[in-house]
Structure 1
Amino acid sequence: MVETQQGDERQRDIPPPPSWLDKGLIQQALCNGGEENLQVAALDVTLPIPSGENYSSTIYRAKATLTDGQHRSFIVKGPSPGATLANMSSEGGVFQREAELLGTLIPQMQALLEDAAPGRFPPLAPRCYHHGTSPVEFLVLEDLTPAGFKMANRKRGLGLRHSLLALRTLARFHAASHALLRRQPELAEKLGNTWRAMYNTMETFVKGEMGAAAEACRSWPGCEDYADRLDKFKVVAIDKFTELNDAKPGAFNVITHGDYWVNNMMFRYEEGELKEFRAVDLQMSHAASPAIDLIYFLSSSVSDLIHEHHQDLLLREYHWELKETLELLGLQAPSLEALLSAVDVHGPCSLYGVISRPVLKAEKGLDVSAVYGGDHSCLVPVYELPDVKKWMQRVLREYVRKGWLPA
């Protein structure tokens, strides 16, 4: 997960950049991008992401001044300084996974889309210029901000226009990835379930979030049943989530984004009009049902109004775009009924989005390192906020009705 503030480049008292993030690294990125004749004269490295708000990596912005006076800007991802989060990154192999996606698989997916409909489909994600594992794991990516991309307001949640654009792009991503899996079926195993890879760490975190949510529910009159259900479900939640994130043989599988929420999305505007979209942070990607991304997005990222009244519309629009794109690729999409059935089957996974949403939308980014160590006390006050209380009561009531939060 990555959190930041829109366009906020305020000066911060930050430590010097790591020694490995030097002119040589950026010079190699330029060469990989086809600009081998350009030379880096100076490099300015900043931390655009506040400390504690990106949980499994550290994000740097590297602005290079070239010998001919031109400038280039890159986003560089390195390991988290925290031992727990560094172990989480290593346990899940998230750097290698994102490097594989951005460096190899997404360019292949983009090529499939371009061959099917030249000029129709914009890029799905930022370009990867360089990646490696020595002296540390790192990624050098396209910096989208100079082109005018920025994040939406995570506290408010996405409105209808932003939600539709995000889901249409997700449908294209899923369609192209399904076509790639058809051509390279071995990818399903290679992109193994990240929930299985990160089982131990995620078990502690999920139990912590559910425990904090249950503690809050127990203090709300009439919500004791929700607390009992959450306390009971947290014991088996990690196993349920892990099982549902497996790619099922013979099912309609795609390469999921894996962490499709508002702060992993960049939007570009022209004169106030929404124009383009890019998905970022693909560390949790794996082969699974498309329902995994859909339910996490709907439960974590859309505004309360959209979540309450327009989920059906969003799912129908997603399906329409998926069907259209797959037809261009010479493939057939599952029916709308089959898609909605998959959403229902995978519905319990959206509880992860439900319990994470208040944390993701907290007024200030939370340093959740302690939660990975088993201490969820920092989360309880977040669930006690009045708007969170109102939202969770409505959603948990709905999930009990649907059977997603069993007794």
Structure 2
Amino acid sequence: MENLSKPSSEEKTALKWFNTHFLEKHLQNYFNDKQLSVASFDINSGSGKRDNFASALFRLNVVISNDSNCSSTKILKLIVKTNLEASGCLSQAISDFDIYGKEIEFYRDIAPQIQNSLKKLNENFPLTAIAYGVDTAETVMLLEDLVESGYRLTSVHEGFDVDGAKLVLKRIATFHAITAILQQENPNIFNNFKYGMVTRHTDSYNTFYTTGLEIIIEITSNWPEFTVYTEKLKKLRETLIEKARCTFDIKPQHFNTLIHGDIWINNLMLKFKKKPTELEIEDVILIDFQYTCWNSPANDLQFFFNSSLKESLRPNCFDELIEYYHQQLVTFLKRLTYKKSIPTLEEFKAQFYERSFYGFIASCFEQPAMTSEETEEADMRSLLGVDEKSMNYKRSIYRSPKVQDKLRKLIPIYDRMGLFN
């Protein structure tokens, strides 16, 4: 998020419509001030390739004034998020998941209601960035630059400790509780948020999982002590996609709500308070709502636990963290007067562990890609591709000693859980 280089030629293409008139229209609407004018603006690239696989991010400094002579001005710092031109399998995936349309609708219609709910609860923490404007025609969002308020991304190689994880879980529980209430008040509010990262709606991401499994099998085939596991992984070829899809099947008897759908360390903006000998997380804001969907909140926890915790906590601290999350969820649901059945701790634990196969997907497929080195090949096209270049890139991910150490640790655990049966 600290990259301030000028936009590349590909990014300039994505910004060909961006001008003063566009900014004035949206900022006048947000501030409800028709006299507001844009004196000038400067735009720079806002992220690395891995920070946002399917979008273009830019940092925007806007000089605005609300008098005709521009005698009094102030600088507004924003993030511009828009689509990148895509082709082939990536274009199909973007269309199938409607990731841009869904995120625009979230920031336009859902995020303001979430913030209003927080105000009613007298909670003074934000859950999302402010949206200064969204534009469906140009597929763009003008968002608050959270860095200006002291938030930042942390390294994808840094996992959360228990205290940090609990703060994230409190924010996730608040998000889940509020959106459950929004659906209680308006049953149709999330009609366009049907599909998560794993779905029966499309096969667009299947190659990412099937090729990942083949590479894992290639690796474990060279480990004599893993012969039993390798044979089970080979049999998993037949059921991998179905098992993954089952984790996202809606079960009406379970507690369901709007889930973030992609909760990992790079989609969490953190504010730190300095202590004498260490940094302590003070606040967390959720970003990137492209895979937000109506589903079991257990899937958010499975993804977060298996992608973003310190290795020493997986899976040893899962029960402790589930209990903390459940406590927070119940508290906020009761404060918001939730009228439906609230799951007991044991019911929610069962809901979580029923979806353990999604934990396998998160830790053995998603996390290796998330934490890979940022190279020219590190993009969504390569992750979805099956050509030689894409396969070589994916093999390079799994050649990492850290990734292989995780496979050695986790595959036996998942086997004992019966996930490969």
Q: What residue in structure 1 maps to residue 397 of structure 2?
A: 382
1:275 Cα shift? 1.7
The counterpart of 1:60, out of the listed 55, 58, 61, is: 58
**Does 1:88 pair with 2:82?**
no
Q: What residue in structure 1 maps to residue 160 of structure 2?
A: 158
Give the secondary structure class of the aligned counterpart of 1:379. helix
Q: Aligned equivalents of 1:247 and 1:275: distance in 2? A: 34
Q: What residue in structure 2 maps to residue 267 of structure 1?
A: 270
Query: Which structure would you say has the larger Rg?
Result: 2
Superposition TM-score, scaled by structure 2 size: 0.88
The residue identity in structure 2 corresponding to 1:157 is: G
1:297 Cα shift? 0.6
The counterpart of 2:360, out of the listed 351, 360, 363, is: 351
Label 1:35 to 1:190 Cα distance change in 2 as closer, same or farther (>3 A).
closer
Q: What residue in structure 2 maps to residue 370 of structure 1?
A: 382
Q: What residue in structure 1 maps to residue 223 of structure 2?
A: 220
The 8 Å contact of residues 91 and 197 in structure 1, kept in 2 or not, is answered as no
The range that moved more, 213-222 or 318-327, is 213-222
The 8 Å contact of residues 58 and 77 in structure 1, kept in 2 or not, is answered as yes
The 8 Å contact of residues 101 and 282 in structure 1, kept in 2 or not, is answered as yes
Q: Aligned equivalents of 2:223 and 2:51: distance in 1? A: 29
CA RMSD between the two structures: 2.2
Q: What residue in structure 2 maps to residue 401 of structure 1?
A: 416
The range that moved more, 141-150 or 56-65, is 56-65
Label 1:52 to 1:257 Cα distance change in 2 as closer, same or farther (>3 A).
closer
Label 1:251 to 1:188 Cα distance change in 2 as closer, same or farther (>3 A).
farther
Label 1:343 to 1:298 Cα distance change in 2 as closer, same or farther (>3 A).
same
1:370 Cα shift? 2.4
The residue identity in structure 2 corresponding to 1:172 is: T
The range that moved more, 22-31 or 93-102, is 22-31
1:142 Cα shift? 1.4
Gaps of 5+ in 2: 65-69
1:180 Cα shift? 1.6
Label 1:270 to 1:35 Cα distance change in 2 as closer, same or farther (>3 A).
farther
Q: What residue in structure 2 maps to residue 44 of structure 1?
A: 42
Q: Aligned equivalents of 1:265 and 1:250: distance in 2? A: 30
1:29 Cα shift? 2.9
The counterpart of 2:184, out of the listed 182, 185, 203, is: 182
1:87 Cα shift? 3.0
Q: What residue in structure 2 maps to residue 9 of structure 1?
A: 3
Give the secondary structure class of the aligned counterpart of 1:33. helix
1:189 Cα shift? 4.1
Correspondence 1:5-404 to 2 at 5 A: 8-9=2-3, 11=5, 14-15=8-9, 17=12, 18-34=15-31, 36=33, 37-51=35-49, 53-66=51-64, 67=70, 68-83=72-87, 84-115=89-120, 117-118=121-122, 120-134=123-137, 136-187=138-189, 189-194=191-196, 195-196=198-199, 199-271=202-274, 272-331=279-338, 333-354=342-363, 355-364=365-374, 366-375=378-387, 376-404=391-419
Give the secondary structure class of the aligned counterpart of 1:377. helix
1:138 Cα shift? 1.7
1:383 Cα shift? 1.8
Give the secondary structure class of the aligned counterpart of 2:129. coil
1:220 Cα shift? 2.3
1:234 Cα shift? 4.0
Q: For 1:115-173, what per-residue CA distance to the aligned partner results, in whole angstroms no more than 9, with x for missing partners?
A: 2x22x251111122222232x32222111111111012211222223211111100111
Superposition TM-score, scaled by structure 1 size: 0.90
Q: Aligned equivalents of 2:101 and 2:62: distance in 1? A: 25
1:14 Cα shift? 2.8
Label 1:191 to 1:385 Cα distance change in 2 as closer, same or farther (>3 A).
same
The 8 Å contact of residues 152 and 263 in structure 1, kept in 2 or not, is answered as yes
The 8 Å contact of residues 368 and 398 in structure 2, kept in 1 or not, is answered as yes
